[in-house]
Amino acid sequence: MTETRDRWSSELGLIAGAIGSAVGLGNLWLFPMLVAQNGGAAFLIPYFFFTITLVWTGLVIEFNTGQIAQQGPAGAYKELGMPFGKIVGLIPGLRPLVVFAFYSSIAGWTIRYIAAPVSNGFWESPGQFFGSVNSGANSAIFAVVATLIIGTIVYFGVKKGIEPATKVMLGLLFALIILLAARGVLLDGSLEGLRYYLIPDFDKLTPTVVLNAMAQAFFTASLAGAPLVVYGSYLSDKADTVTAAITTTFGNATIAILAGFAIFPAALAVGIEPATTGPGLMFISIPQIAQQIPGSSIVVSGFFLAAALAAISTGISIMEVPVDTLRYHTGLSRKKITPLLVGFIVLLAVPTAMSSELFNLLTTVVLYSGPLAALLAPIGLFWAYDGKKTLERINEGPGINLGGWFIYWGKYVYPAGILFAYLWDIFG
């Protein structure tokens, strides 16, 4: 390989990159939709359970897979001594292409929506307006725009592109989502929505809801043995990956929860039925909240700008994985690979943006296969490499240390926990 490995400018770069990857449309768009489709507040119970057990520990495992191997998923498993590691690595190394295929559509809709307030249709019939944006050529054009923006940042690499872009975008997003959540809660008639969002009906807690909650907890944290492994590999030796994992996990969950506060009170107050609204939920609810705020056009544009930025910083991390994979296998440079990859992705993204069947299919496949893809990292570290050495490497950095329990956690509990949720759904 001709290039040396990219590096974060500091450990904070990893945290910004990881939060930038985690906080995305999975929080703003998918989370409220899944809450609505999975029994409302009941969904939150397994969601939090998985977040405080599997998710943050999974992040520690994935960061360290990358850091110890000094490779993205393409090379990490071979490096850690896994049989057929180079072939196995192609699964997490290329799976993000499928994620990107539908992710670029939603990213494109958010970009289109920045200018939505100037259209009367957006205010008068938000549902119809969404229908025109999310189908046909409109949808395809903006998916391509999103792909080109993301590709440009990836082209410039970690220090000049990914890290500074992500830091700016995150700050803006945090501020705007807090404003909207506060407005949602203070709306007249918000009580019904708050009840829906916060008071669980335990009868709704089925094995399928539990599996969906796990799939979402993994998706929203970007936990799939891919972007976080690559981002971990950009760390030099000593870094506090435990603090980075905890910060990322809880920062990410906070944004999702705030998105729910922004969306549910408003949706129920104006009679939107969240469970049946599907992918339009975020897009249709926001104009309803904004209508009741002075300067509504600016609030709407601001919200979708923040959503677009979240989608872009996430998209960067998704595209970075196949860039790393192709770099590993061909030895070509980032600047040669990125344009080629963007061309290929456009070929996948355009049909996905134009067909809601394909869009739904890919979204479902990605969501359910995520935790399975996340099994590779613990197998690589704790079985192929070595549990004890892994723990030593984790604790080598400054900051929080983990106890000996983590060896058993990584080797048995974490993978078994993932598998259990699937088996329970199949046989439960």
In the complex, which residues of this chain contact ligand TRP (CB under 6 A)? 21-22, 24-27, 96, 99, 219-220, 222, 224, 226-227, 314, 317-318, 370
The secondary element (H helix, E strand) that includes residue 413 is none
Q: Nearest-CB residue to ligand TRP?
A: 26
Place of tokens 């456009």: 346
Nearer to ligand TRP, 211 or 226 (CB): 226
Other Cβ atoms within 10 Å of 270 Cβ, number = 18
Q: Phi/psi class of residue 401: alpha, beta or left (left: φ > 0; alpha: ψ in -120 to 50)?
A: beta
Asked if residue 31 lies in contact with residue 256, where contact means CB atoms within 8 angstroms, the answer is yes
Least Å distance between CB 31 and ligand TRP?
8
Nearer to ligand TRP, 67 or 317 (CB): 317
Least Å distance between CB 123 and ligand TRP?
27
How far is it, in rounded angstroms, from Cα 3 to Cα 239?
Answer: 23
Nearer to ligand TRP, 24 or 85 (CB): 24
Nearer to ligand TRP, 28 or 272 (CB): 28
Q: Write the DSSP string, 375-409.
A: THHHIIIIIIIIHHHHHHHHHHSSS----THHHHI
Nearer to ligand TRP, 20 or 397 (CB): 20
Q: Write the DSSP string, 108-163.
A: HHHHHHHTGGGSHHHHH-HHHHHHHHSSHHHHHHHHHHHHHHHHHHHHTHIIIIIH
Nearer to ligand TRP, 246 or 293 (CB): 246
Nearer to ligand TRP, 110 or 314 (CB): 314
Tokens of 222: 């970007």
Q: What is the three-class DSSP state of 291?
A: coil
The dihedral over CA atoms of 213, 217, 220, 223, expressed in degrees to the nearest 10, equals -130
Least Å distance between CB 128 and ligand TRP?
26
How far is it, in rounded angstroms, from Cα 304 to Cα 310?
Answer: 10
Nearer to ligand TRP, 117 or 315 (CB): 315
Per-residue CA distances from 242 to 11, 99, 178, 227 (Å): 11, 27, 27, 17
Nearer to ligand TRP, 101 or 187 (CB): 101
Least Å distance between CB 66 and ligand TRP?
14
Nearer to ligand TRP, 227 or 265 (CB): 227
Nearer to ligand TRP, 288 or 338 (CB): 338
Least Å distance between CB 177 and ligand TRP?
14
Least Å distance between CB 401 and ligand TRP?
27
Least Å distance between CB 28 and ligand TRP?
8
Least Å distance between CB 190 and ligand TRP?
26
Asked if residue 14 lies in contact with residue 244, where contact means CB atoms within 8 angstroms, the answer is yes
Q: Of 338, 424, 375, 352, whose CA–CA distance to 46 is shortest?
A: 424
Other Cβ atoms within 10 Å of 12 Cβ, number = 13
Task: Tell whether the torsion through CA atoms of 107, 153, 250 and 205 is positive or negative.
Answer: positive
Least Å distance between CB 103 and ligand TRP?
7
Asked if residue 136 lies in contact with residue 354, where contact means CB atoms within 8 angstroms, the answer is yes
**What's the chain's Rg over C-alpha atoms?**
21
Place of tokens 């984790």: 394
End-to-end CA distance of the chain: 49
How far is it, in rounded angstroms, from Cα 386 to Cα 383?
Answer: 6
